[in-house]
């Protein structure tokens, strides 16, 4: 089997790449290989499936006719397990060998599973994809109490879904407050309070050492020896980038697959994007893992343009999230806290029900933001961060209640409206 464009991964990055390729090349054969048996869907919505707010049909990120309309050959329910970059072939788990001219690795991440005694019982689940969510949903009739291991984005998402289904949940988080990868401690405490108001038991500074039960879960033992009764354990510690395919082919891998500003790996004609890749992060000025949906899609589009012969640079991304957990709206991007006091300025404004924080570097550019409660204007601040705008002229006004585009200097407004910001590299720009 041969194809011109082979995409391994049927999620945001892979779909973005296929769409970009089709904009440039209307005829070249595109083949997408997806390990899951489902058409492309929104993974952030799996919690809404468990809570009953979405069905698999309403989770799709493209219409049912997307593949046919774009003349895409799709192979679902099969895993790519070996690639030969010299022969330009990829072998699937059923022995099928696919030859390619250009290849994209949009392989995503796999769950981190900490070492715990008692794994392998019924009632223990990951929470990464729709298959996991379906298993959780099917098991819920047996569940009154659940323990969620991990208080990050995945863990809190799973917790909210279970609470909506009437389950009493305990979250076990190793750090001192939840959502610590995107929030600083004051914001984390606000989030913890919001979560607890819904009856969630929050165990911080703890880990699970053992899962109890014979054939199915009956409880857990914490690292301090304390036992808790439960019927379900959801392991939601985080994800590792899936880099095995790249490593096996001799492609350069750090924490993720290393890519240049065209999303190409160390091997010509092989590209990578999404959770598996280390792409340029404009906040840190270096390649970093950034496992968020928008960056995967944009990175996929950049890769797709380059695969189809349209030179395109990735202008960079950074960690960003806009969320609503347990009634608390949150918008975060970049650094939650500066790595050191030197060279950074931190602006904070708090009220009874809101928290706003900005991190500014030595060049007077925004490199981090946390908004809780009132996030209506978060997009304005993120735009300043994304476009690397110096805030010197209006720094004192940044956290004013009436801050917005109208308070920006005229030249900045013109740059924002025209997209002509100096130093900004746009998708489609060679």
pTM: 0.91
Structural domains in the chain plus CATH codes: 5-108+241-307 (3.50.50.60), 124-237 (3.50.50.60), 327-418 (3.30.390.30)
Angle between helices 185-196 and 153-164 (to 10 degrees): 20
Cβ atoms 145, 160 nearer than 8 A: no
Q: Element (H or E) spanning 190, and its range?
A: helix 185-196
For position 426, what pLDDT does the model report? 44
What b/e string do you get for 387-406 counting C-beta neighbours within 10 Å, with b at 16 or more? bbbebeebeeebeeeebeee
Per residue in 39-73, pLDDT tens? 999 999 999 999 999 999 999 999 989 999 999 99
For position 407, what pLDDT does the model report? 61
Distances (CA, A) of 202 to 30, 178, 265: 47, 9, 42
How many CB atoms are located within 10 Å of the residue 407 CB? 14
Cβ atoms 131, 76 nearer than 8 A: no
DSSP output for 376-427: TTHHHHHHHHHTT-B-GGGGGGTT-TT-SGGGS-HHHHHHHHHT--TT---T
For position 416, what pLDDT does the model report? 56
Rounded distance between C-alpha atoms, residue 151 and residue 158, angstroms? 10
For position 68, what pLDDT does the model report? 96
pLDDT category at 349 given cuts 50, 70, 90 is very high
How many CB atoms are located within 10 Å of the residue 96 CB? 13
Distance of CA 10 to the CA centre of its chain: 15
For position 424, what pLDDT does the model report? 33
Cβ atoms 67, 39 nearer than 8 A: yes
For position 430, what pLDDT does the model report? 45
pLDDT category at 428 given cuts 50, 70, 90 is very low
| Percent of all residues in the chain with a pLDDT value above 70, rounded to a whole number | 94
Beta bridge partners of 371: 331, 356
pLDDT category at 213 given cuts 50, 70, 90 is very high
pLDDT category at 408 given cuts 50, 70, 90 is low
The predicted model gives 148-164 an average pLDDT of 97
188 has a pLDDT exceeding 80: yes
420 has a pLDDT exceeding 50: no
pLDDT category at 425 given cuts 50, 70, 90 is very low
Task: Give the up-direction half-sphere exposure of residue 358: CA atoms within 13 A in the CB hemisphere.
Answer: 21
Per residue in 97-129, pLDDT tens? 999 999 999 999 999 999 899 999 999 999 999
Cβ atoms 297, 15 nearer than 8 A: yes
For position 411, what pLDDT does the model report? 63
Dihedral Cα 256, 262, 266, 270, nearest 10 deg: 90
Sequence-ordered strand ranges (E) for 145-231? 145-149, 168-173, 201-204, 208-212, 219-222, 227-229
Phi/psi at 125 (5° precision)? -135, 150
The predicted model gives 298-327 an average pLDDT of 96
């Amino acid at each position: 089997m041969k194809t011109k464009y082979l995409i391994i991964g049927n999620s945001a990055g892979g779909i973005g790449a296929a769409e970009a390729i089709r904009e440039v090349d209307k005829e070249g054969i595109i083949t997408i290989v997806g390990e899951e048996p489902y058409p492309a869907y929104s993974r952030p919505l799996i919690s809404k499936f468990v809570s009953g707010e979405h069905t698999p049909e309403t989770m799709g990120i493209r219409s049912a006719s997307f593949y046919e309309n774009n003349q895409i050959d799709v192979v679902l329910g099969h895993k790519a397990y070996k690639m030969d970059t010299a022969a330009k072939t990829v072998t699937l788990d059923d022995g099928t060998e696919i030859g390619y001219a250009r290849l994209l690795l949009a392989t995503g991440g796999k769950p981190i599973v900490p070492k715990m005694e008692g794994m392998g019982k019924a009632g223990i689940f990951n929470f990464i994809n729709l298959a996991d969510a379906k298993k959780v949903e099917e098991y819920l009739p047996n569940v009154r109490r659940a323990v969620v291991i991990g208080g990050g984005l995945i863990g809190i998402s799973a917790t909210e879904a279970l609470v909506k289904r009437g389950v009493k949940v305990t979250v076990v988080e190793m750090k001192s407050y939840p959502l610590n990868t995107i929030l600083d401690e004051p914001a984390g405490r606000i989030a913890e309070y919001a979560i607890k108001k819904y009856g969630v038991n929050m165990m911080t500074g703890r880990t699970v050492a053992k899962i109890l039960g014979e054939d199915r879960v009956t409880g857990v033992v914490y690292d301090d020896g304390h036992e808790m009764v439960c019927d379900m354990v959801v392991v939601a510690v985080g994800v590792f980038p899936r880099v095995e395919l790249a490593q096996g082919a001799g492609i350069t891998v750090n924490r993720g697959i290393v890519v240049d500003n065209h999303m190409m790996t160390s091997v010509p004609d092989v590209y990578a994007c999404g959770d598996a890749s280390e792409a340029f992060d404009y906040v840190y000025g270096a390649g970093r893992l950034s496992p968020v949906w928008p960056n995967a899609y944009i990175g996929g589009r950049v890769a797709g343009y380059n695969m189809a012969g349209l030179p395109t640079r990735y202008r960079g991304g950074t960690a960003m999230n806009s969320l609503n957990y347990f009634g608390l709206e949150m918008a975060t991007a970049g650094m939650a806290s500066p790595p050191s006091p030197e060279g950074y300025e931190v602006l904070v404004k708090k009220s009874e029900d809101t928290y706003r924080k900005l991190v500014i570097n030595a060049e007077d550019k925004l490199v981090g933001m946390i908004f809780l409660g009132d996030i209506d204007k978060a997009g304005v601040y993120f735009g300043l961060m994304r476009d690397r705008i110096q805030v010197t002229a209006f720094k004192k006004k940044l956290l004013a209640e009436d801050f917005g585009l109208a308070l920006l200097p005229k030249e900045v407004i013109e740059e924002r409206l025209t997209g002509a910001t100096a130093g900004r590299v746009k998708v489609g720009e060679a």
